[in-house]
């Protein structure tokens, strides 16, 4: 009897379920679909925290700080989309119609209703919370926030031309941010959960894939030196009414770049406000004829080849005809008798050309090639130019003459800094490094101080002789730039003034690039600094315009790193005979 009753009860329950199933699947499908739409699976991103870019001492130059994303549940915001859009657009300074589209977003007909849509990404925390609170205060639901780190550049313009920046969509658009995106970005995670009636179902499906945060990138840059170099450079460019400028400081022994300053620069937190031309590094991309700083490379090569010594005597006429052209010095003179040291100290074009006649074209070209001219340094940034060092087969007598004193070839600022640093480093060229340790660019190239290369260009003896000649440049009464000297220290330097080719006429248009390169202490170099000012409008010169920048930056370096004077007597080479 009991068994019979039990079977009857089971049969009745199954009948009820069967009837309900028929109702849902056959008799009332629209009602069933409507109820199903009230439930769904929400998938939210869990953004990875982008790696920091720090200076050599771990000071952040680019970091990720607390921020929020604002998102909507379109199923809940659609009925009041216009009113919610006005609140959010005003609070966040967004386009009203873009916000409206997000609040009304759908998957399209016949598909489950969308439960997640971005309204804004990487919003400062206080701003985001205030905007969402305003929506809720107005009585509307369906707008919320989630963590979403904001990229921040605490030093604003310091190193901005190297760092680059991120676009509104969080994608890198320039600089190190772009070149090392794979390392810095990490990988976003996600979280999925079920909702019903607009609310999360506590015991529903819930999965989480944790984000993998990006890795930090450490630079060789010293933030303090970079800051100081940029400020001194800015003042000089503005005061000379120049077009632009660059200043580079290198650790002589390691090749580490301690500062790579450009002006104009920009605030990386507001890159869109700056002209596109100001967002890259002109020190890497701009090419120009280097002028008389090149004479250091030419004369040190001649010494290395055994052709001359610093005391070699040279008769320097008032001018030097070559074919239909005439080589002149920047200063008027009749016949003067200079030593090779005097040619460097007085920056004589004619004296340099006469000394260089002992080289065949391929000999001078070979040395300049080993000094790195015509080659990218490869520090890990896009936009670096090769410059131009014409092949010796194409040289004429005039070509060799002009190249010997820095015209008829082109370089970028980093190339010249690296070449002069080779002289400072006893004749051994070290490939410069911007990355401390090692890192791999997006194109798969490994760069950094751990993979820096070295090769000999000139002998230690030739480098020492060149350094002593360069000391005469900053010697009062002997050289062209006594103002670049630093009391208490032996300083080696060289001025440069070169005519520049105009963009319109493609000819020498009267504009100049004025520069100064040097190292200190001259007899035991610790730092190399190179400065170039492009197209000053106040009649600038290498010694008068770029020299003071060199002196200030070098003085700062020597003090910051507590480099003592060597307490040895300065070079005292004869400049005339």
| Greater pLDDT, 549 or 500 | 549
Domain with 173, as residue range(s), is 44-207
Write out the two tokens for 549. 């920048």
In a domain, 11, yes or no: no
The residues with which 251 forms a beta bridge, in sequence order, are: 527
Q: Choose the weakest-confidence range: 19-23, 469-473, 481-485, 536-540.
A: 19-23
Does 393 reside within a domain? Answer: yes
The sign of the dihedral angle between the CA atoms of 345, 346, 349, 351 is: negative
Return the SS3 of 432.
coil
Q: What percentage of the chain's residues is helix, strand, coil (to nearest 5)?
A: 40, 25, 40
Q: Which residues are marked as active site?
A: 292
The CATH number covering residue 489 comes to: 3.40.710.10
Say if 38 falls within a structural domain.
Answer: no
Query: Please, which residues bridge with residue 499 across strands?
Result: 512
CA distance 89 to 120: 10
Question: Quick check: is 36 in a domain?
Answer: no
**How far, in Å, CA of 312 to CA of 351, rounded?**
11
Residue 110 phi, psi dihedral angles, 5° rounding: 80, 0
Nearest alpha carbon to residue 452 among 478, 474, 425:
425
| Contact (CB, 8 A) for 412 and 246 | no
Residues 195, 234 within the same domain = no
Separation in Å, CA 52 to CA 172, 180, 227, 399: 14, 11, 19, 48
Last residue of a domain, one of 146, 178, 207: 207
For residue 304, being part of any structural domain is answered with yes
**Residue 145 domain-assigned?**
yes
pLDDT at 29: 47
Q: Are residues 243 and 195 in the same domain?
A: no
Q: How far apart are CA 173 and CA 268, in angstroms?
A: 11
- For 259, the 3-state DSSP assignment is strand
Q: If we measure between CA atoms, which residue out of 397, 426, 424, 483 comes closest to residue 293?
A: 424
Measured CA to CA, the distance from residue 4 to residue 7 in angstroms comes to: 5
Residue 8 has pLDDT above 70, yes or no: no
In CATH, what number is assigned to the domain containing residue 90? 3.90.1310.10
- 287 with 408, same domain: the answer is yes
Query: 569: which residues sit within 8 A by CB, 6+ positions away?
Result: none
pLDDT at 38 over 60: no
- The first and second tokens of residue 19, run together, are 């009837």
Give the pLDDT band of residue 9 (cuts 50, 70, 90).
Answer: low
Residue given tokens 């400020």 in the structure block: 231
Tokens 């509307």, residue located: 140
Distance CA(330)–CA(353), nearest Å, equals 14
Residues 51 and 184 grouped into a single domain: yes
Q: For the packed helices 294-304 and 361-370, what is the interaxial angle rounded to 10 degrees? A: 110
The reported pLDDT for the residue numbered 535 is 94
Report CA dihedral (118, 120, 123, 125) to the nearest 10 degrees.
Answer: -60
Pairing of strands 53-54, 217-218: parallel
Instruction: Say what the pLDDT of residue 508 is.
Output: 84
For residue 471, being part of any structural domain is answered with yes
The neighbouring-strand residues paired with 219 are 435
Q: Give buried/exposed letters for 278-291 (b at 16+ CB in 10 A, else e).
A: bbbbbbbbbbbbbb
pLDDT digits (tens, 9 = 90+) for 170-216: 899 999 999 999 999 999 998 887 776 656 676 667 788 999 999 99
Does 66 share its domain with 170? yes
The residue-averaged pLDDT of 149-161 equals: 95
> In the predicted model, what is the mean pLDDT of the chain?
91
The rounded distance, in Å, linking the Cα atoms of 45 and 314 is 74
Question: Average pLDDT in the 128-136 region?
Answer: 95
Omega prior to 264 cis, within 30 of 0:
yes
Q: Is 402:408 a contact under the CB 8 Å cutoff?
A: yes
DSSP 436: S
Cα–Cα distance for residue pair 401/300, rounded to 1 Å? 16
Same domain flag for 300 and 190:
no
For residues 307-324, average pLDDT: 97
Q: Rounded CA gap, 357 and 192, in Å?
A: 77
Q: Is residue 359 pLDDT above 70, yes or no?
A: yes
Burial grade of 385 (CB within 10 A; 0-12, 13-18, 19 or more): middle
Long-range contacts of 21-29 (CB under 8 A, 24+ apart): none
The residue from 207, 232, 263 where one domain ends is 207
Tens-place pLDDT, residues 496-542: 999 888 777 777 878 899 999 999 999 999 999 999 999 999 878 89
101/247 same-domain check: no
358/314 Cα distance (integer angstroms): 13
Position 435 scores a pLDDT of: 98
Residues 331 and 274 in one domain: yes
DSSP 393: G
Q: What is the pLDDT of residue 28?
A: 52
Q: What are the tens digits of pLDDT across the range 44-102?
A: 888 899 999 999 999 999 999 988 999 999 989 999 999 999 999 999 999 999 999 99
pLDDT at site 197: 61
Domains identified in the chain, total number: 2
Residue 420 and residue 473 in one domain = yes
CB-count exposure of residue 492 (10 Å: 0-12, 13-18, 19+): buried
Q: Do 471 and 547 lie in a common domain?
A: yes
Task: Kindly indicate the confidence band of residue 332, based on its pLDDT and cuts at 50, 70 and 90.
Answer: very high
Lowest mean pLDDT among 35-44, 141-150, 184-193, 337-346: 35-44
Residue with tokens 């009230």: 38
236 and 197 in a common domain = no
Query: 174 and 291 in one domain?
Result: no
* 13 in any annotated domain: no
**Measured distance CA(298)–CA(364) in Å, rounded:** 7
pLDDT bracket for residue 302 (50, 70, 90): very high
Which H/E stretch holds residue 557? helix 547-560
In angstroms, rounded to a whole number, what is the distance separating the alpha carbons of residues 432 and 418?
7
* Eight-state DSSP code of residue 48: P
pLDDT of residue 11: 56
- Is-contact 528 255, C-beta < 8 A? no
């Amino acid at each position: 009897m009991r068994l019979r009753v039990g079977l009857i009860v089971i049969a009745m329950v199954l009948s009820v379920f069967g009837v309900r199933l028929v109702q849902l699947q056959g008799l009332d499908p629209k009602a069933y679909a409507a109820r199903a739409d009230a439930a769904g699976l929400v998938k939210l991103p869990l953004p990875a925290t982008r790696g920091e870019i720090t200076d050599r001492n771990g000071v952040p130059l680019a970091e990720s700080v607390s921020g929020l994303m604002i998102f909507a549940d379109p199923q809940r915001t659609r009925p009041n989309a216009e009113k919610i859009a006005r609140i959010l657009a005003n609070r966040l300074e967004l386009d009203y119609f873009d916000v409206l589209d997000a609040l009304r977003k759908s998957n399209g007909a016949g598909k489950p209703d969308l439960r997640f849509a971005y309204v804004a990404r990487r919003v400062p925390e206080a701003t985001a919370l205030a905007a969402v609170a305003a929506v809720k205060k107005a009585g509307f639901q369906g707008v919320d926030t989630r963590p979403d780190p904001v990229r921040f550049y605490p030093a604003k313009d310091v190193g901005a031309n190297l760092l680059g920046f991120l676009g509104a969509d969080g994608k890198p658009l320039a600089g190190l941010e772009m070149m090392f995106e794979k390392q810095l970005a990490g990988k976003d995670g996600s979280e999925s959960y079920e909702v019903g009636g607009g609310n999360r179902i506590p015991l529903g499906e819930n999965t989480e894939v944790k984000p993998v945060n990006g890795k930090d990138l450490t630079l060789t840059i010293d933030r303090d030196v970079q800051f100081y170099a940029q400020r001194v450079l800015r003042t000089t460019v503005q005061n000379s009414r120049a077009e632009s400028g660059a200043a580079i400081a290198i650790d002589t022994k390691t090749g580490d770049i301690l500062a790579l300053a450009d002006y104009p620069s920009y605030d990386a937190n507001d890159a869109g406000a700056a002209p596109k031309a100001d967002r890259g590094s002109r020190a890497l991309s701009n090419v120009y004829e280097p002028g008389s700083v090149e004479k250091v490379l030419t004369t040190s090569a001649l010494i290395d080849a055994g052709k001359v010594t610093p005391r070699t005597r040279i008769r320097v006429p008032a001018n030097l005809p070559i074919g239909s052209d005439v080589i002149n010095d920047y200063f008027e003179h009749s016949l003067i008798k200079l030593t090779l040291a005097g040619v460097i100290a007085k920056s004589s074009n004619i004296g340099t050309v006469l000394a260089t006649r002992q080289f065949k074209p391929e000999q001078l070209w070979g040395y300049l090639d080993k000094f790195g001219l015509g080659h990218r340094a490869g520090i890990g940034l896009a936009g670096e130019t090769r410059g131009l060092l014409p092949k010796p087969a194409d040289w004429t007598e005039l070509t060799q003459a002009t190249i010997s004193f820095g015209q008829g070839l082109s370089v970028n600022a980093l190339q010249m800094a690296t070449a002069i640093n080779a002289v400072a480093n006893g004749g051994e060229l070290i490939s410069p490094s911007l990355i401390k340790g090692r890192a791999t660019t997006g194109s798969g190239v490994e760069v950094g101080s751990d993979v820096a290369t070295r090769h000999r260009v000139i002998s230690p003896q030739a480098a020492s002789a060149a350094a002593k000649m360069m000391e005469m440049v900053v010697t009062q009464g002997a050289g062209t730039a006594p103002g670049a000297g630093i009391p208490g220290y032996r300083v080696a330097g060289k001025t440069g003034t070169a005519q520049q080719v105009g963009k319109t006429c493609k000819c020498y248009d009267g504009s100049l690039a004025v520069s100064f390169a040097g190292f200190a202490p001259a007899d035991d170099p610790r730092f190399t600094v190179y400065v170039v000012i492009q197209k000053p409008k106040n009649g600038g010169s290498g010694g008068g315009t770029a020299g003071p920048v060199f002196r200030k930056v070098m003085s700062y370096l020597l003090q910051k790193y507590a480099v003592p004077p060597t307490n040895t007597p300065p070079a005292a080479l004869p400049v005339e005979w």
